[in-house]
Amino acid sequence: MTDPKLRVLISSEQIQNRIRELGEKISHDYPGNNLHMIGILKGAVFFMTDLARAMKRDVFIDFMGISTYGKGKTSSGEVKVTKVHEVVGEGTRIHGEVVDREAVRSFFPAFTLDLEGRVKEASCGCPHFRRSGLREGPCEHMLALRLAYARQRAAEEALRQTPEGRKLIRAETRSYVRREASGQEQVYRVSLDGQVVAVEWGPRLGEPRRQKLWFDTDAEARAAYFARLESLSSEGYIDAASQLV
Ligand SMILES: [Zn+2]
């Protein structure tokens, strides 16, 4: 760091500490013996080796190369998120369309991201997926769709941090999750629909309690809705969807 124009924003010590935490969390969440790590070349090389060392266990490491769909490095419209559907208590179901120039055809990958951000119930019509499912990791179409979904979510999140962006939101549902010391998960769902705010809460498995609040105007309902989301965050609840990207 001898170039005076460069300054350190995140120290290598901070990065290594975070990698160590990630390694411990992955080891804890996936206690089995056949953990398979797949990194995307070439950028992931150094991170992957640091992360593998942080696991303090045997892991399999593989790399795969992917190329950007379409021309250039930005979204070209050749990867489309066609449907996003929240499945109560399960996660988010995502459908997409990916134009594969090499195969000269489109594929329609779909998968569910569970509340911990794991890929479940995946499907794709491509030869890779038909041959091996998820055993060799997700196919390139799923990776492209997941990336497109992450980008879309990031853009939506940035927009909802602004007063103008919030005004555009008239109806939506958010799920928040908190793990109690007992290991049980509390799920809190808040919906905004016009002048109505509906709340459901309770343990992940079990009958939730429900509450519905009517407001005189959309603006009052929206203000109450965002206030509720903010108080959940301050009480240690995590936006379930934020873990999915
Ligand atoms: Zn595929």
Closest to 26 (Cα-Cα) out of 55, 59, 56, 57: 55
C-alpha 137 – ligand 1 centre gap (Å)? 11
CB of 222 within 8 A of CB of 169?
yes
Q: Judge whether residue 73 has pLDDT over 60.
A: no
**DSSP state for residue 195 in the 8-state scheme:** T
pLDDT at 192: 92
3-state secondary structure 111-176: EEEECCCCEEEEECCCHHHHHHCCCCCCCHHHHHHHHHHHHHHHHHHHHHCCHHHHHCCCEEEEEE
Q: Which residues are registered as beta bridge partners of 99? A: 106
pLDDT at 67: 60
**Ion ligand 1 — residues with CB < 5 Å:** 107, 124, 126, 129, 139, 141
Active site residues: 100
C-alpha 126 – ligand 1 centre gap (Å)? 4
Q: Grade residue 168 by pLDDT with cuts at 50, 70 and 90.
A: confident
Mean of the pLDDT values across residues 63-79?
59
pTM here is 0.54
pLDDT at 190: 93
Look at 213 and 24; give whichever has higher pLDDT. Answer: 213
pLDDT tens profile 184-216: 888 899 999 999 999 999 998 888 999 999 999
CA distance 245 to 158: 14
pLDDT at 185: 85
Look at 222 and 2; give whichever has higher pLDDT. Answer: 222
Per the structure block, which two tokens stand in for 77? 């419209």
In which residue are the tokens 């056949």 written?
34
C-alpha 93 – ligand 1 centre gap (Å)? 16
125 alpha-carbon distance from chain centroid: 23
Q: How many CA atoms lie within 13 A of 142 on its CB side?
A: 23
CB of 181 within 8 A of CB of 188?
no
Mean of the pLDDT values across residues 69-86?
68
**Class for domain 166-244, per CATH?**
mainly beta
Q: For the chain, what are the domain ranges?
A: 12-65, 79-160, 166-244
Packing angle, helices 45-54 and 12-29, rounded to 10: 60
C-alpha 46 – ligand 1 centre gap (Å)? 27
pLDDT at 74: 44
pLDDT at 244: 46
C-alpha 124 – ligand 1 centre gap (Å)? 5
Mean of the pLDDT values across residues 143-162?
86
Of all residues in the chain, what percent carry a pLDDT higher than 70?
Answer: 91
Q: Judge whether residue 242 has pLDDT over 80.
A: no
C-alpha 208 – ligand 1 centre gap (Å)? 37
pLDDT tens profile 33-63: 777 788 877 778 888 888 888 887 788 887 7
